[in-house]
Amino acid sequence: MIAALSELLSIGQDALWSGFVVFARVGAAMALLPAFGEQTVPARVRLILALMFTLVVLPAMAERIPPPVPGLGFAPILLTETLAGLFFGMALRLFVLALQIAGTIAAQSTSLSQIFGGSAGTDPQPAMGHVLLWGGLALATILGLHVRLAEYLLTSYDLVPPGVILPAALVAEAGLGEIGRSFALGFTLAAPFVIASLVYNVTLGVINRAMPQLMVAFVGAPAITAGGLILLLIAAPFMLQVWSGALGDFIADPFGGQG
């Protein structure tokens, strides 16, 4: 009886250790993941979500979790797993940043940057950015973001095995590459508004040159405002489709399969 209890206790300790190691990475990533890690989501809900994702990832990763280092305890693996979770979470957070960049550029181009619409974070965003951000998060969630995130977390263990320090090459090359791609994606999404703003300003300059006595600003301001809103109505579905596709491609093959 005592031997059976001792064996059961050993199995329980191994399960708790594996769960703790997986939770360290998943919990760190959960603080930055799109939709689930937004600051508007209560901390208790995020904690429960982190536990649920841990239960999803744990069965596949339990055998790959290294035992604790004698004499050092859980500190080394806690540090490595937390850093890995923050890195992979930040990689996905950059896609949210791309939507915010696109909304800011679009609002600046159409003279609507003073109209604030709140934000998923602490800093207020222009109304256009607010619409694009929540629209993108809602679309990603409807398309099964929770399933994709579980796959993404499992893939992260192939790129950075548990207990292994983040490779400097991965952080430098992949990290900087994703930052550049985030800004490029944001500008690409806002390109229709930039083009419309260019056409508007050129046209306004020609009219002002032809009729200096006409107060073109009073005529042009309502036109660019209405045009920006109409363009948002037309372009937003395509912008969100492009953004969702880019997010799905990244989750399917993070960092181009670098390791």
pLDDT tens, 24-57?
A: 999 999 999 998 988 888 889 999 999 999 999 9
The pLDDT value recorded for residue 234 is 93
Distances (CA, A) of 100 to 38, 69, 130, 159: 14, 43, 8, 28
The pLDDT value recorded for residue 211 is 77
Q: What residue spans define the domains of the chain?
A: 2-257
The pLDDT value recorded for residue 115 is 59
Lowest mean pLDDT among 94-103, 150-159, 188-197, 218-227: 218-227
In this prediction the pTM is 0.84
Is the predicted pLDDT of residue 5 greater than 50, yes or no?
no
Distances (CA, A) of 15 to 48, 52, 136: 19, 16, 37
The C-alpha atoms of residue 241 and residue 99 are separated, in whole angstroms, by 12
Average pLDDT over residues 162-169: 85
DSSP character for 122? S
Task: Using CB atoms within 10 Å of the CB of residue 168, give its burial: 0 to 12 exposed, 13 to 18 middle, 19+ buried.
Answer: exposed
pLDDT class of 123 with cuts at 50, 70, 90: low
Q: Do the beta carbons of residue 61 and residue 157 sit within 8 Å?
A: yes
The pLDDT value recorded for residue 195 is 92
pLDDT class of 8 with cuts at 50, 70, 90: very low
pLDDT class of 242 with cuts at 50, 70, 90: very high
Average pLDDT over residues 128-140: 90
pLDDT tens, 53-112?
A: 999 999 888 888 887 776 666 788 889 999 999 999 999 999 999 999 999 899 888 877
